[in-house]
Structure 1
Amino acid sequence: MERVRAFMDEHIVPAVPVYHDQSASIDRWAAIPPVFDELKEKARAAGLWNLFMPPSEHDDAFFTSVGLTNVEYAPIAELMGRISFASEVFNCMAPDTGNFEVLHRYGTPEQKQRFMVPLRDGKTRSAFLMTEPAVASSDARNIQTEIRRDGGDYVINGRKWWSSGAGHPRCDFFILMGKTDPEAAAYRQQSMILVPRATPGVTLVRHLPVFGYDHAPHGHFEVALENVRVPAEYMLLGEGRGFEIAQGRLGPGRIHHTMRNIATMEVALEKMCRRLLSRRTFGKAIAEHSVWEERIARARCEIEMARLLCLKAAHRMDTVGNKEARAEIAMIKIAAPRMAQQIVDDAIQAHGGGGVSDDFGLAELWANTRIVRLTDGPDEVHERQLARMELARYADEGARP
């Protein structure tokens, strides 16, 4: 953790204005600011690379974890979350972390060599195509994109959206979830398949901004797939295994988001306190008004509660596995984004009109926080899962009063 902190203080924090200046002078959808690749080379040379993967039985010649557990990685992810692009400097960015883990867990040696190794080395980026505009995708059984076997290939037809990273200039492939057998049992209809970005029939229909922020060069896109033909060996794990893969992928991804949410809370609280101490109203510093004392105290309590719950979830993942930790993962996924959203909103209020401008970075911080309540599944899905687990504890007792 201290090595990451020192690297950020020495290299990333001073590069923030350089990164933004260079971004302003290029086509951000087609090029990467030069300083960004310089930072990545420094991080890799320092051994601060691919830190997100805990040791597992899947480690092999293609990838060996640096050895950090989820508990050890949590405060590191929080540090990275303080600056929007820092995670990618260390090759620890979404959705690549989740896609990497899918390939690491479920990929064949040939799939790993073609898709995972370049991702491991930071040479490519990727996207995850699951959500669809025509159906309520919070219930993934609704997904309708067709994956049809045709000889030695699969042919894909459908439309996806909120495909984060699909338009990145270095995006090399997608992991796509679609339907291989509409007649199978409900949770055996879906499969996941690897789709090279340059495959004929793949079209980026439009970019989808988040409250006006484009998040270039990463961004979020609507993607059309028309008779997209990929080799049969690009199927992951086998037909009908899509839900099984999704559960393996989404657990770690959800908790990584919440680790970064905690960083958002800390940054927002810092900005709030500094602003409240620097301005006076009605004869005293704004910070001395009781309403702000209450909000500051509540924010600090919520940050510490979120951090402890996140660490508990990480500990459970390390000790009993992602499946057994699903309750704790659901809890932190529900709690952290909501807490972060409220603290950022309070920070905006403390800045008055400046808070909703781009001058203090809070408006973008709010937008980035709000979307996490939908990322990897909306709050309601996690609440449903958590409530069912809780009710199951009492189901055998019957309907006793």
Structure 2
Amino acid sequence: MNFTYSEKVEAWREKLIQFMEEVVYPNEKVFKEQLDAQPDRFADIPPIMEEMKEKAKKAGLWNLFLPDSEYGSGLTNLEYAPLCEIMGRSPIAPEVFNCAAPDTGNMEVLVRYGTKEQQDKWLKPLLEGKIRSTFCMTEPQVASSDATNIEADIKKDGDQYVINGRKWWSSGAGDPRCEILIFMGKTDVNAQRHRQQSMILVPLNTPGVQVERMLPVFGYDEAPHGHAEITFDNVRVPAKNILVGEGEGFAIAQGRLGPGRIHHCMRIIGAAERALEVLCKRVEERKTFGKQLSEQGVIREWIANSRIEIEQARLLVLKAADMMDKVGNKEARKEIAMIKVVAPNMALKVIDRAIQSLGAAGVSEDFPVANQYAGIRTLRLADGPDEVHRQAVAKLELGEQASLRENNCLYN
């Protein structure tokens, strides 16, 4: 494995870093001010966001996440990793470059599994950044860490499907530009356990679709994006809206979540880097008990541990990305599961140290770390909780070890 960035990737990095410094970082405060000035934080998009998106398009920094050159930049997962990391340094940056979840995952689903008609109607405007989307999988009534628990109902009725159920933590549904959702439910409760589920496209304005409330995270509403609880009451959509076919929902979910998980981890590395920068700057500026904070032994331990942990996580992200490129998402599932556990836990430790170094200011809105902590804490749950990923890693490891014992006389 050679993780040295190629000339092509270095050129992309330089261009992206310059854009972040000239456009994104200076407008983080502007975005917040415009958002806070609105009577309803979910009613309108701060104008600065659309301005930044237009600049990103003109700069050619658009849809970098898609490896398919017909739709995106044609970058591999390994090439995209350092770019996604840079975007992860700012909470508003992913959207600026049209590389924000859940749109990225939904676009990948439409690229891989959508019909030509579905792609023309929904993928193209998503790729252009004209609309946004949401993904409806998690349910409040069941433990959704096991996707086979899903109870939402999708029933065929002539040339339509009728949908009933309740979903929550549907990220992006609060956005006024959100027009389409991907809904996961059961079409056949009597089928084999992993063939009961299907996915279907549902326009958000379909009769019977009701956004009940927006769900804040530790008090942050994450407007205008947000996370919604949505009810579906006898919602009717054309049968042609089904993705691939009945019983394919679980397989599609696995295909969607692999890239989504590693993209989260790539962004998390960037967030941790920024938190470490905040920490280092702060401890050089403040004194306690006659010494710079940066001269205190415990602070130096925080800095050293943070750097070590970030580098370890980055290497595992790059390894997982490299495997996805070379042997596919299925063969890389152990590495994807490992990094999904490692990255959020690492970042939370680094961010917590930054908060501690800032003192009371660390839990305020004057610095980005409190918001970072709230957002990244959710990623120990989103796309599968730590415990499920650890279970998957252990299961795969036990299988590999059994195979080694079986085939190697040293173990006999």
Normalised-by-shorter TM-score class = over 0.9
The one of 54, 57, 60 equivalent to 1:47 is: 60
1:361, CA displacement in angstroms? 2.1
The one of 348, 370, 377 equivalent to 1:363 is: 370
Cα distance per residue 1:196-245 (max 9 Å; x no partner):
00000001111110000000000001100000000000000100001110
1:393, CA displacement in angstroms? 1.1
Matched residue, 2:51: 38
Q: Distance in 2 between matches of 1:300 and 1:197?
A: 44
1:21, CA displacement in angstroms? 2.1
Q: Distance in 1 between matches of 2:131 and 2:369?
A: 30
Matched residue, 2:236: 229
The one of 303, 311, 317 equivalent to 2:324 is: 317
Q: Distance in 1 between matches of 2:260 and 2:45?
A: 25
Matched residue, 1:18: 30
For the pair 1:150 / 2:162, whether they are aligned, the reply is no
Instruction: Tell me how many residue pairs correspond in the alignment.
Output: 394
Paired AA for residue 301 in structure 2: E
Matched residue, 1:181: 188
1:18, CA displacement in angstroms? 2.0
Q: Distance in 2 between matches of 1:141 and 1:250?
A: 15
Matched residue, 1:208: 215
Matched residue, 1:116: 123
The one of 219, 240, 250 equivalent to 2:247 is: 240
Matched residue, 1:294: 301
Paired AA for residue 146 in structure 2: D
Are 2:188 and 2:196, in contact at CA under 8 Å, matched by a contact in 1?
A: yes
Paired AA for residue 353 in structure 1: A
1:28, CA displacement in angstroms? 2.2
Paired AA for residue 38 in structure 1: E
Q: Distance in 1 between matches of 2:19 and 2:271?
A: 19
Matched residue, 2:21: 9
The one of 329, 338, 345 equivalent to 2:336 is: 329
The one of 280, 283, 291 equivalent to 1:284 is: 291
Paired AA for residue 44 in structure 2: A
Q: Distance in 2 between matches of 1:362 and 1:11?
A: 21
Cα distance per residue 1:30-58 (max 9 Å; x no partner):
11111111111111122111000113xxx
Paired AA for residue 35 in structure 1: I
TM-score in terms of structure 2 length = 0.93
Q: Distance in 2 between matches of 1:85 and 1:119?
A: 17
Q: Distance in 1 between matches of 2:55 and 2:72?
A: 19
Percent of residue pairs bearing the same amino acid type? 59
1:65, CA displacement in angstroms? 3.1
1:125, CA displacement in angstroms? 0.2
Greater mean deviation of Cα atoms: 236-245 or 26-35: 26-35
Runs of 4+ in 1 over 4 A off after TM superposition: none
Paired AA for residue 116 in structure 1: L
Cα distance per residue 1:117-166 (max 9 Å; x no partner):
11011000000000000000000110000000001000000000000011
Q: Distance in 2 between matches of 1:358 and 1:46?
A: 31
Greater mean deviation of Cα atoms: 156-165 or 352-361: 352-361
Which runs of no fewer than 5 residues in structure 2 stay unpaired? 1-12
Matched residue, 2:357: 350
TM-score in terms of structure 1 length = 0.96
Matched residue, 2:175: 168
Q: Secondary structure at the match of 2:181?
A: strand
Greater mean deviation of Cα atoms: 197-206 or 272-281: 272-281
Paired AA for residue 59 in structure 2: A
Q: Distance in 1 between matches of 2:15 and 2:359?
A: 37
Matched residue, 2:348: 341
Are 2:145 and 2:388, in contact at CA under 8 Å, matched by a contact in 1?
A: yes
Paired AA for residue 308 in structure 1: L
The one of 93, 113, 133 equivalent to 2:100 is: 93
Q: Distance in 2 between matches of 1:357 and 1:47?
A: 36
Cα distance per residue 1:179-200 (max 9 Å; x no partner):
0000000000000000100000
Q: Distance in 2 between matches of 1:223 and 1:181?
A: 22
Q: Secondary structure at the match of 2:124?
A: helix
1:349, CA displacement in angstroms? 1.0
Cα distance per residue 1:338-363 (max 9 Å; x no partner):
00001111111111122112222221
Are 2:28 and 2:92, in contact at CA under 8 Å, matched by a contact in 1?
A: no
Are 2:215 and 2:226, in contact at CA under 8 Å, matched by a contact in 1?
A: yes
